Amino acid sequence: MDTKAALKGGEFLIKNVNVDDVFIPEEFDEEQQMIAETCEDFIETQVSQYFNDLDKHKEGLMPQLLKQAGELGLLGVAVPEEYDGFGQSFLTNMKTNEAIGSAYSFSVAFMAHTGIGTLPLLYYGNEEQHQKYLPKLATGEWLASYCLTEPGAGSDANAGSTKAVLSEDGKHYILNGQKMWITNAGFADLLTVFAKIDNDRVLSAFLVEANSEGITMNPEENKMGIKGSSTRQIFFNDVKVPVENLLGRRGEGFRIALNILHVGRIKLGATVIGSMRRAIKQSVNYANERKQFGSAIASFGAIKQKLADQVVKAFSTESAVYRASKDVQDTIESYLEQGKAYGPANIEGIAEYEPECAMLKVYGSEALDFIVDEGVQIHGGMGFSAETPIERGYRDSRINRIFEGTNEINRLIVVDSITKKGKKHKIDLYEKIEEIKNNLAPEAMTGDYYADKHALVDNFKNILLYLIPQVQEKFGRKLMFEEEILMNLADIMMNVYILESTLLRVEKLDKKGLKHDISVYKDILDVLTQNLSNEIYVSGYEAIGSFAEGEEKGELLKLFNNFAKSEPFNIKDARRRIADKLIDDNFYNF
């Protein structure tokens, strides 16, 4: 069998994909749906009743719930069966993350354990380390944490000053330093700690048992949101770490940290979908119940607009997240078929989609922020009260734009990773740019619904490809300091990927007859098209205005306008039809 992803990472900008080759959420099989339902049932029956207690840090509650999840096998979904895990695919693991994602602080603790807490060991550990620790983590006997950030090292992780020195007898590394913002710190049994050995310039990684002598902690941080998650500073004072607990090779820690962040970004994209679903349900439930001027507020156009835009954000996030996740899974499977070991296959498979991981983290976190903000607005004065659950969702959402690298850093990663792939000829970016420069003309509209949508997406891609070398030639090596322009370009890339993913999903739903009411899904696509077209227009105008001058600026703006324009339509009625379905169902059912 020769498994192959539809596209390489970043290749969406230069190649179109056949609708049949794209995975959509409606194609999850029965087993995957059952696993997701098990997770959802666990949240609703075992966790949701404790949301308030978790926020108050009720002693022992969070680890107790995590261990219950472990007993059900939920902590080991991604862990191979030989280590007492469930051995499920990347795609199934992403669906699990979505299902758990609605559980506020619990989902943060869960994701920290199963993601950054377990995956460094799973992907980089040797067989002895796997045998010793993975079964404990997969079953919940032990809980895990990840210790990277320091007071002087946030986005610049390699600036960390925690040190590891080999003991005189050569049996231990002596660890000294401080870590902060450490999720699960209060109850974790196993810590993945990053430190520099001797005078190394780059980090190494260590598996440190939390009961080791010399480890102390500050009290729990008092946070704006995710109050129920344990977040503490950890101090290492002459902590002895057995030499066999070095994770990976000496000096490999920075690479481990970066690659685990790729996983964390795309997983966060899936996790926020669960939060979106809960917030939308809270919004429409309240809109259906709350009466003003003798009618439920759900009947008012202003509220319908908010409900519809919530749906559009969630649906588009889903479409892009699972499209990318299937490409990641196919790439991992392709590497395994080629004979790569499990760890490298997963690491390289996920790293291939570095730009998509970064985009989905940004779009998903900002989409959730929009949804919970509008949720509070729909609730009116009650939304500002801690008595309503939408208030918790609003506070808890904010961290997602900071987690896994800030959204600003991730926007810069999008452009940097795609252009680097082009320069290294991993994708034919600059070949396509040359082709565009010599044959630049807007795609003609034909009146065919899907063909015209694809033509518009191609126009966005082509004008972006035309702009990239203009910016690079203008600034040369100093382009890295023009972060505002780079973020403009990243936003265009991101919005193109989201729009194309949603288009392919709706087209496949229609082509395969998977939805009987395809018209409302076309409404979602139409609203998204107008919204993102407007955003692309603004991003392009800002970028051009920030680097071009005089006649050149005028020509570029005129050119961009010809490519980036989309025809207006009756967006009001489309939103009302989307909202009406949501109002009738009384929960997100798209």
The dihedral of CA 436, 437, 443, 444: what is its sign? negative
Task: Domain 146-247: give its CATH superfamily.
Answer: Butyryl-CoA Dehydrogenase, subunit A, domain 2 (2.40.110.10)
Place domain 253-408 in its CATH homologous superfamily: Butyryl-CoA Dehydrogenase, subunit A, domain 3 (1.20.140.10)
Alpha helices in 424-549 (DSSP H): 429-438, 449-475, 483-511, 518-547
Residues in Cβ contact with 260 at an 8 Å cutoff, skipping those fewer than 6 apart: 115, 116, 119, 120, 123, 146
- Cβ–Cβ under 8 Å, residues 390 and 276: no
**Residue that the structure tokens 């989409």 belong to:** 367
Residue 577 to residue 557: CA distance in whole angstroms = 35
CB 262 within 8 A of CB 360: no
Average pLDDT over residues 425-445: 91
pLDDT at 337 over 90: yes
Q: CATH 1.10.540.10 occupies which residues in the chain?
A: 11-142
Cα dihedral sign, 116-119-125-130:
positive
* 374 pLDDT above the threshold of 90: yes
In the numeric block, the tokens 């009961």 are attached to: 211
CA 152-156-162 angle, 5° bins:
50
Closest CA to 437 of 480, 469, 479, 459: 469
pLDDT reading at 555 higher than 70? yes
pLDDT for 38 equals 96
Nearest to 102 by CA among 371, 362, 359: 371
Residue 1's pLDDT is what? 64
| pLDDT mean across residues, the chain | 95
> Are the C-beta atoms of residues 463 and 498 closer than 8 Å to each other?
no
In the chain, % of residues over pLDDT 70: 100
CATH 1.20.140.10 range(s) for the chain read 253-408, 424-585
Check pLDDT > 70 for residue 390: yes
Tell me the H-state helices in 352-448: 354-379, 389-397, 407-423, 429-438
Whether residue 404 lies in the annotated active site: yes
**Assessment of whether the complete model's pTM goes beyond 0.85:** yes
Task: Specify the pLDDT at position 440.
Answer: 86
pLDDT average, residue stretch 276-303: 96
Provide the token pair at 345: 């296959």
Q: Give the Cα separation of 199 and 36 in Å (integer).
A: 47
Read off the pLDDT of each residue in 304-310 and give the average, rounded to a whole number: 98
Distance CA 527, CA 535 (A): 13
User: Tens digits of per-residue pLDDT, 146-190?
Assistant: 999 999 877 777 788 999 999 999 999 999 999 999 999 999 999
Domain range 11-142, CATH class: mainly alpha
Within the chain, all domains assigned CATH 2.40.110.10 are found at 146-247
Beta-strand relationship, 190-197 and 163-166? parallel
Report d(CA 404, CA 312) in Å as an integer.
Answer: 25
Residue 247 belongs to what H/E stretch?
A: strand 246-247
Q: What is the pLDDT of residue 196?
A: 95
Q: What is the pLDDT of residues 202-214, one digit of tens each?
A: 999 999 999 999 9
DSSP string, 298-342: GGSHHHHHHHHHHHHHHHHHHHHHHHHHHHHHHHHHHHHHTT--H
**Residue 156 confidence (pLDDT):** 76
**Rounded to an integer, what distance in angstroms lies between the CA atom of residue 540 and that of residue 543?**
5
- Fold classified for 424-585: Butyryl-CoA Dehydrogenase, subunit A; domain 3 (1.20.140)
Task: Identify the active-site residue in 11, 404, 500, 507.
Answer: 404
